[in-house]
Structure 1
Amino acid sequence: MIHSPGSVVFQNVRKTFGAFTAIHDLSLTVEPGTLVTLLGPSGCGKTTTLRILAGLEHPTSGRILIGGKDVTMLPANERDVSMVFQSYALFPHMTSLDNVAYGLESSGLSKKDARQKAEHGLELVGLAGMGRRLPAELSGGQQQRVAVARALVLEPQVLLLDEPLSNLDARLRRRVRTEIRELQQRLQFTAVYVTHDQDEALAVSDKIIVMKDGEIAQAGSPRELYEAPASTFIADFIGEANVVPCEIIDISGAHATVSIEGLRHVVPARGAKTGRGKLAVRPSAITVEPAESAAFSGRISHAAYLGDHIEYEAETSGGTLFIVDPSVDRPLAPGTQVAIGLKNRGIAIIAE
């Protein structure tokens, strides 16, 4: 459907609204055929970045290139991009087929050819045979797929997705995000995807760009961001993390020995130096066992059974730890004194 996926390059892009700077000197690259997610909290600049790429806003300074072509000052209809909005923006009085064909007919394609391409577009997103249905006769997930098909049939160099799953319930979000990812990998189109949902970003992305206050806080693969956060902000934003003070007591090649309340543990060094530091410890990387005394000890202050795991909060001399324990057959009651241990994965020195 998309014959030549394009690259996206931002070169020192800045965007101001009066005295407010929404984007600070932003430089990034999206390789052809990849799905890159702009992730961050509300107000971080991700939606402004997408609107600048779409041509709905113009940068105050800097350049934008799509497929190697400078499009900085081009209007939206000359940029060879298509956008999928969170509201779907389907015409309620038109069938699914007519919704998908609308942009093709508006661009000058004959009605017959537009409908043939629209039927193929619906088939691509798993809606073959549903072309006669009105949007009101489709589920939320099906409506979103119609919106994706409508964007894909225009054969853009880049597909833009603005919070495309935010109107769906949790179970449907999981299914549709899987469908979007499988479709992108099968058709190899370039996609820039905006979301504030960390799980969504981890599930669909080749690369995640985490934004904060109009700047890139960290960029990398989902695994890199989860396992090697560059800052406390990233550690806490990409999945949950306990930020624990530690002493880095030895560096040996690629590994560092750290001490937490007297408990020693070996972690990737990541360029760290000996001395005081911080660890990002995922809740699932912590173990707890009943014990009156231990090198690293605590007291269970809260326990919540969630079916396949128990969530604990444990009070320690270094602060409160949030713990996810799969051992549902041996629950620990609040007030229990515990020895705290660490697993080999899910622990990283914070590089900042």
Structure 2
Amino acid sequence: MTDLKPGSVVFENVRKDFGTFTAIPDLSITIEPGTLVTLLGPSGCGKTTTLRMLAGLEHPSAGRILIGGRDVTMVPAHERDVSMVFQSYALFPHMNALDNVAYGLESSGYNKREARERAEEGLAQVGLAGMGHRLPAELSGGQQQRVAVARALVLNPQVLLLDEPLSNLDARLRRRVRTEIRELQQRLGFTAVYVTHDQDEALAVSDRIVVMKDGKIAQEGAPRELYEEPVSEFIADFMGEANVVTCEVVGREGDETLIDVGGLQHRLRARQTANGKAKLAVRPGSVVLNPEGASGLGGEILTAAYLGDHVEYEIETQVGNFFVIDHSVERSFAPHTAVSLGFRNRGLALIEA
């Protein structure tokens, strides 16, 4: 797998219709070679349809798709120089790991000896050296996933496509395997397009995230940008929980915006915003709780739940209810207790009203 040749991906004004239903109205995306870009969104947002068009399993109704600068809009799937890792892994149960990886190579014209050599190299690249003799049933879910990745990569595709690749794994194994996929992508430098509905997964593996809604791009950017600078209530809530409340923009000082939230004034970095009513997204961990009487936004504890390393609160205030995650477990507030809320410097964003 030393001769991987990462390619770029470009969608130019792509539309996809299914009869009278338009799943993708007008999509334009550019993916740089050697990067991992995640298509993220709820069910029905168009991410899987986008991946299938890139794979050649669906063809656009309009627009162009380019891979490595080559127009592949109407090129059959087997001529596109892409490989896909499926949600189900799709390993042959009667073949051992080595034969599973070698199968595609032999089908592509490699002789048996060369195919097996390349397959052994592929298994070593994903940390499975010496395990080629095992059948899929003798491998863990994470190991099966790595066999599927090796089988795709030994074909030296310009682009690797991953369709919900961790959905069959339990939560603990998902965390480990997503780290392995990210480390492998960075080490080998292949281009990858990754589809998931899991926000944590997207944040952990991606160079860039494209969040989709109703077949359109709701926002795209680096993981930190999407989490810390959401442009809409949908993004703020989808990329981790957020409390969305009304505030007042009262002025600017340099690159900071001064806001008023129920009498509590706070400065934050924000895009240019006119004075007046606005919406503020506040992450649950960005609220600071103090006893009643401290300066801040007054509130009352509605519920409190101790979860080991943090306490979760629902708090009623004059601007709306807040869901708060407080890691100060040595101090907790009981329901019906009056408290004062303040904000940390990070985890707040002005969003579209």
Whole-angstrom distance in 2 between the partners of 1:120 and 1:304: 51
1:73-222 equivalence runs, <5 A: 73-222=74-223
Q: Quick check: 2:152–2:160 contact (8 Å CA) kept in 1?
A: yes
Q: Quick check: 1:97–1:132 contact (8 Å CA) kept in 2?
A: yes
CA, structure 1 residues 329+293, in 2 after alignment: closer, same or farther (shift >3 Å)? closer
Q: Quick check: 1:257–1:265 contact (8 Å CA) kept in 2?
A: yes
2:251 equivalent in structure 1: 250
Whole-angstrom distance in 1 between the partners of 2:175 and 2:240: 16
Task: Point out the more displaced range, 166-175 or 245-254.
Answer: 245-254
Q: Report the Cα offset of residue 295 of structure 1.
A: 4.2
1:328 equivalent in structure 2: 329
Whole-angstrom distance in 2 between the partners of 1:141 and 1:239: 26
Q: Quick check: 1:195–1:201 contact (8 Å CA) kept in 2?
A: yes
- The letter for the 1-side match of 2:61 is T
1:242-281 equivalence runs, <5 A: 242-281=243-282
- The letter for the 2-side match of 1:347 is L
Q: Report the Cα offset of residue 56 of structure 1.
A: 0.3
Q: Report the Cα offset of residue 79 of structure 1.
A: 0.3
- The letter for the 2-side match of 1:52 is M
Q: Report the Cα offset of residue 253 of structure 1.
A: 2.6
- The letter for the 2-side match of 1:145 is R
1:14 equivalent in structure 2: 15
The one-character-per-residue Cα deviations of 1:39-88 (angstroms, maximum 9, x if unpaired) are 00000000000000000000000000000000000000000000001100
- The letter for the 2-side match of 1:152 is L
Q: Quick check: 2:287–2:324 contact (8 Å CA) kept in 1?
A: yes
The one-character-per-residue Cα deviations of 1:117-176 (angstroms, maximum 9, x if unpaired) are 000000000001110000000000000000000000000000000000000000000000
**Which aligned runs of 4 or more in structure 1 are off by greater than 3 angstroms?**
292-295
5+ residue gaps, structure 2: none
1:277-288 equivalence runs, <5 A: 277-288=278-289
The one-character-per-residue Cα deviations of 1:175-209 (angstroms, maximum 9, x if unpaired) are 00000000000000000000000000000000000
Whole-angstrom distance in 2 between the partners of 1:180 and 1:28: 23
1:297 equivalent in structure 2: 298
5+ residue gaps, structure 1: none
Q: Secondary structure at the match of 1:160?
A: strand
Q: Quick check: 2:86–2:164 contact (8 Å CA) kept in 1?
A: yes
1:229 equivalent in structure 2: 230
CA, structure 1 residues 201+144, in 2 after alignment: closer, same or farther (shift >3 Å)? same
1:28 equivalent in structure 2: 29
What do you get for the CA RMSD once the two structures are aligned? 1.0
Q: Quick check: 1:268–1:349 contact (8 Å CA) kept in 2?
A: no
Q: Quick check: 1:270–1:351 contact (8 Å CA) kept in 2?
A: no
Identity percentage of aligned residues: 72
Whole-angstrom distance in 2 between the partners of 1:283 and 1:208: 22
Q: Report the Cα offset of residue 294 of structure 1.
A: 5.0
Q: Report the Cα offset of residue 334 of structure 1.
A: 0.8
Q: Secondary structure at the match of 2:151?
A: helix
Whole-angstrom distance in 1 between the partners of 2:28 and 2:287: 37
Whole-angstrom distance in 2 between the partners of 1:266 and 1:66: 45
The answer to whether the aligner puts 1:346 opposite 2:343 as a matched pair is no
Q: Quick check: 1:310–1:328 contact (8 Å CA) kept in 2?
A: yes
Whole-angstrom distance in 1 between the partners of 2:126 and 2:153: 10
1:58 equivalent in structure 2: 59
Whole-angstrom distance in 2 between the partners of 1:318 and 1:351: 17
Whole-angstrom distance in 2 between the partners of 1:20 and 1:297: 49
- The letter for the 2-side match of 1:129 is G
Whole-angstrom distance in 2 between the partners of 1:269 and 1:176: 36
Whole-angstrom distance in 2 between the partners of 1:142 and 1:228: 36
Whole-angstrom distance in 1 between the partners of 2:255 and 2:17: 43
Q: Secondary structure at the match of 1:108?
A: coil
Whole-angstrom distance in 2 between the partners of 1:328 and 1:295: 21
Q: Secondary structure at the match of 1:167?
A: coil
**TM-score when normalising by structure 1:** 0.98
Whole-angstrom distance in 1 between the partners of 2:68 and 2:104: 22
